Structures are given as structure tokens and as C-alpha cells.
């Protein structure tokens, strides 16, 4: 009898060992991620207002429907998509060029590598203030440079007019984050095997052909990882926008992050703000899934 219980217990452990081993992880993930997510999803279905928390009640998907009707939401979404699309791609191309150049440096490569990482060492808030000053229409560096070179005073309102303000934001973002791309792609370049290049050289391939048909496919996985990390990171580039334009003027440079903050915290519409966060999360997921599919595809091509 006792024996069979013991055996039964043994069998239970054997069968469920995997589950038991990951149980702590499941508990932690549930407590720290699933429960808050579910709760905040519930909040997004209420009209919770921070000034009148006692008046909060369940309103179904009304917040989501309201968002769909909100022109500022659509504008912020479009701005965000443009911002992310341009930033990630430009950062990638600049990163690739810079990485190639640094890769070819024979002496003092580590010095150059360290130097190129400098922008990453600044807090985004500081970068924001710096670029806000660069693009100030009256005393800013950019307009003064234009004056210096052309001799004519053009008062270009960089941070006011659309899409100039998007351009200014992009300039700051790209300056700040390209080094990250450089580092990842450089790591990719360094890890490439030499044999394919030697074989190509023997076959008489030009350096462009080598780059196009060997380097690029081989560093594909690095590219996608760098892009996934950058796009998720961009999804948090709140501080830069907040400092430079705060989504304004007149919501012209509104991004989903600044608008979420405006709704949830400044306007006290917490339910609405959470709904908007969920839309953002879903979009991010879709984007990441797309990028991961591409990553898997490029892996198959390479190996």
C-alpha cells in the first residue's frame, strides 16, 4: 500500500518534472506580468478618471471605439509609424556603412569603436534639450548655420511646422541610436568566416558583389536582431519627443507615447490611456512577429 503510494508519487514527479521545474517561472511571470496585464486590460474597459476614481464603471469597448474615431489618435499613429520606419531604416543603413568603415580600419579600431559609442552615453533627456536648442528657430545652431552659409536670414520653424518637426525629432533619434546599430553590425562583421570571401576573390568577384552576395546575407540575423531591439526601444523613445516638442504644437508631432501620457496622466482619463497602451502593445507585437519571421527566413537562407 505504502509502496504503491510512493510509486504513484514517483510517477507523478516523473511525468510532471518539466512542469514542476518551470513552475517558479510560471508563478513569477503570472504575478508580475499576467495579473497586471489582465487588470490593466480591465481598466481599459472602464471610464476610470483619476479625479473621480469612485465614478469608474465598466463601459465595454467604448474607449477603443472612441480612439478609432479620434483624429489625433490616427495622426499620432501615423507619425509613430513614419518615425519608426524612417528611424530604424536610416539607422540601419548608416550603421552598416559606419560598421564597414570601422571594420576596415586597421589601426586604432578600438579607439574608433569607443568614440562612436559616445552618443549612447547621453541620457535621451539631454539629447532632447541639445537638439531642441539646435533647431530653435531664433537662436538655434541650424538656422544660424544656414545664415552663415547663405548670408540670408531664414527663420525656419523646425520644431513647429510639419513635417520639419518630425525631421528634427528623427535627426536627434538617429544621432543618438545609430551607434547601437554600428556595434551590433560590427560584431556581425567580425564574426563572419573568411573562407567565402577568399573563394569569391579567387572567382574574381568585385568588392560590391562580395558585399551584396556574401556579407549582407551572412549578417542577416544580426540585422534583424538589431532592428527588433531598436524598434522596441523606439517604442519607448518618449523622453526625446517630450522634451523637444511634447507632441505639439497643436498635436502636430504627437506620437502614440506622448498621446498615451496626455490621455492617462495629464487629462486624468486613465481608462482611455490604458486602452491606448493596449493598442500600442498589439501593434508592437505585430511588428515584432513580422521581424522575427524575417529573421527565421534569413537564417534558413544562410544555413
* Stretch touching other proteins by CB under 8 A, among 14-22, 47-55, 174-182, 287-295: 47-55
Nearest to 216 by CA among 96, 88, 94, 89: 96
Which residues within the stretch 169-208 sit at the binding site for other proteins (CB under 8 A)?
Answer: none
149 or 153: CB nearest other proteins: 153
Site for other proteins in 141-160 (CB under 8 A): 153, 155, 157, 159-160
Asked if 264 and 207 count as a contact pair (C-beta separation under 8 A), the reply is no
Return d(Cα 240, Cα 245) in angstroms, integer: 9
Residue 62 binding other proteins, by CB under 8 A:
no
Minimum gap (Å) between residue 101 Cβ and other proteins:
36
With a CB cutoff of 8 Å and minimum separation 6, the contacts of 264 are 270, 272, 273, 274, 276, 277
Q: What is the contact mask toward other proteins in residues 264 to 293, using x (rule: CB under 8 A)? A: --xxx-------------------------
Closest CB to other proteins among 235 and 271?
A: 271
CA distance 49 to 45: 12
Tell the smallest beta-carbon distance from residue 4 to other proteins (Å).
Answer: 56
269 strand-pairing partners: 49
51 binds other proteins (CB under 8 A): yes
Q: Does 40 bind other proteins (CB under 8 A)?
A: no
3-state secondary structure of 206: coil
User: Which one of residues 8, 53, 85, 163 is an interface residue with other proteins (CB under 8 A)?
Assistant: 53
The verdict on 75 binding other proteins (CB under 8 A) reads: no
**Cβ density class 49-84: b for 16+ within 10 Å, e for less:** beeeeeeeeeeeeebeeebeeeeebebbbebbeebb
The residues that touch other proteins, with contacts defined as CB under 8 A, are: 47, 49, 51-53, 55, 136-138, 153, 155, 157, 159-161, 245-246, 248-252, 262, 266-268
Amino acid at each position: 500500500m505504502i509502496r504503491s503510494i510512493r510509486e504513484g508519487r514517483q510517477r507523478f514527479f516523473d511525468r510532471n518534472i518539466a512542469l514542476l521545474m518551470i513552475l517558479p517561472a510560471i508563478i513569477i511571470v503570472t504575478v508580475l506580468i499576467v495579473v497586471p496585464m489582465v487588470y490593466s486590460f480591465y481598466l481599459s474597459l472602464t471610464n476610470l478618471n483619476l479625479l473621480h476614481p469612485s465614478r469608474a464603471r465598466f463601459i465595454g469597448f467604448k474607449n477603443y471605439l472612441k480612439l478609432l474615431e479620434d483624429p489625433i489618435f490616427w495622426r499620432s499613429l501615423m507619425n509613430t509609424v513614419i518615425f519608426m520606419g524612417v528611424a530604424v531604416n536610416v539607422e540601419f543603413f548608416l550603421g552598416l556603412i559606419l560598421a564597414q568603415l570601422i571594420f576596415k580600419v586597421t589601426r586604432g579600431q578600438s579607439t574608433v569603436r569607443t568614440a562612436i559609442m559616445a552618443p549612447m552615453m547621453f541620457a535621451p533627456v539631454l539629447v532632447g534639450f541639445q537638439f531642441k536648442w539646435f533647431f530653435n528657430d531664433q537662436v538655434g545652431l541650424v538656422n544660424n548655420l544656414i545664415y552663415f552659409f547663405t548670408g540670408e536670414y531664414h527663420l525656419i520653424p523646425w520644431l513647429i511646422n510639419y513635417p520639419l518637426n518630425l525631421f528634427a525629432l528623427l535627426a536627434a533619434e538617429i544621432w543618438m541610436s545609430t551607434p547601437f546599430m554600428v556595434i551590433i553590425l560590427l560584431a556581425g562583421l567580425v564574426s563572419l568566416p573568411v573562407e567565402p570571401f577568399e573563394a569569391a576573390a579567387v572567382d574574381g568577384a568585385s568588392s560590391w558583389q562580395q558585399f551584396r552576395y556574401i556579407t549582407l546575407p551572412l549578417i542577416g540575423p544580426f540585422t534583424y536582431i538589431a532592428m527588433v531591439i531598436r524598434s522596441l526601444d523606439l517604442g519607448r523613445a518618449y523622453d526625446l519627443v517630450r522634451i523637444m516638442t511634447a507632441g505639439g504644437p497643436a498635436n502636430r508631432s504627437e506620437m502614440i507615447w506622448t498621446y498615451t501620457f496626455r490621455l492617462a496622466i495629464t487629462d486624468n482619463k486613465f481608462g482611455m490611456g490604458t486602452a491606448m497602451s493596449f493598442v500600442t502593445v498589439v501593434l508592437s507585437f505585430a511588428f515584432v512577429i513580422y521581424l522575427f519571421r524575417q529573421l527565421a527566413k534569413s537564417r534558413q537562407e544562410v544555413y
